Chain A
Amino acid sequence: QKEVEQDPGPLSVPEGAIVSLNCTYSNSAFQYFMWYRQYSRKGPELLMYTYSSGNKEDGRFTAQVDKSSKYISLFIRDSQPSDSATYLCAMKADSSASKIIFGSGTRLSIRP
Chain B
Amino acid sequence: DSGVTQTPKHLITATGQRVTLRCSPRSGDLSVYWYQQSLDQGLQFLIQYYNGEERAKGNILERFSAQQFPDLHSELNLSSLELGDSALYFCASSVGQGAGANVLTFGAGSRLTVL
Which A residues are within 8 Å of any B CB, using their own CB?
A: 32, 41-46, 49, 88, 95-100, 102-105
Q: Which of A97, A103, A105 contacts B104 (CB 8 A)?
A: A97
A51 to chain B, nearest CB (A): 9
B97 to chain A, nearest CB (A): 9
- Residues of B close to A102: CB separation below 8 A: 42-43
Q: A43-B2, A102-B43, A104-B42 are in contact. Are A96 and B56 (CB under 8 A)?
A: yes
How far, in whole Å, are A103 and B31 apart by their CA atoms in the complex? 23
Q: Which of B43, B45, B56 contacts A88 (CB 8 A)?
A: B43
Q: Are A45 and B33 in contact (CB under 8 A)?
A: no
Q: Is B25 an interface residue (CB 8 A)?
A: no
Q: A32-B102, A41-B108 are in contact. Are A100 and B45 (CB under 8 A)?
A: yes
Which B residues are within 8 Å of any A CB, using their own CB?
A: 2, 4, 31, 33, 42-43, 45, 48, 55-56, 58, 90, 92, 94, 101-109
B93 to chain A, nearest CB (A): 10
How far, in whole Å, are A49 and B56 apart by their CA atoms in the complex? 22
Q: Are B33 and A43 in contact (CB under 8 A)?
A: no
How far, in whole Å, are A19 and B103 apart by their CA atoms in the complex? 25
Q: A41-B108, A42-B108, A43-B90 are in contact. Are A97 and B102 (CB under 8 A)?
A: yes
Q: Are B101 and A95 in contact (CB under 8 A)?
A: yes
Residue of A nearest to B31 (CB): A97
Q: Which of B48, B102, B104 contacts A95 (CB 8 A)?
A: B102
Residue of A nearest to B98 (CB): A95
How far, in whole Å, are A105 and B90 apart by their CA atoms in the complex? 15
Which among B31, B102, B108 has the greatest number of chain A C-beta atoms within 10 A? Answer: B102
B90 to chain A, nearest CB (A): 5
B9 to chain A, nearest CB (A): 9
Residue of B nearest to A44 (CB): B106
How far, in whole Å, are A98 and B108 apart by their CA atoms in the complex? 19
- Residues of B close to A105: CB separation below 8 A: 42-43
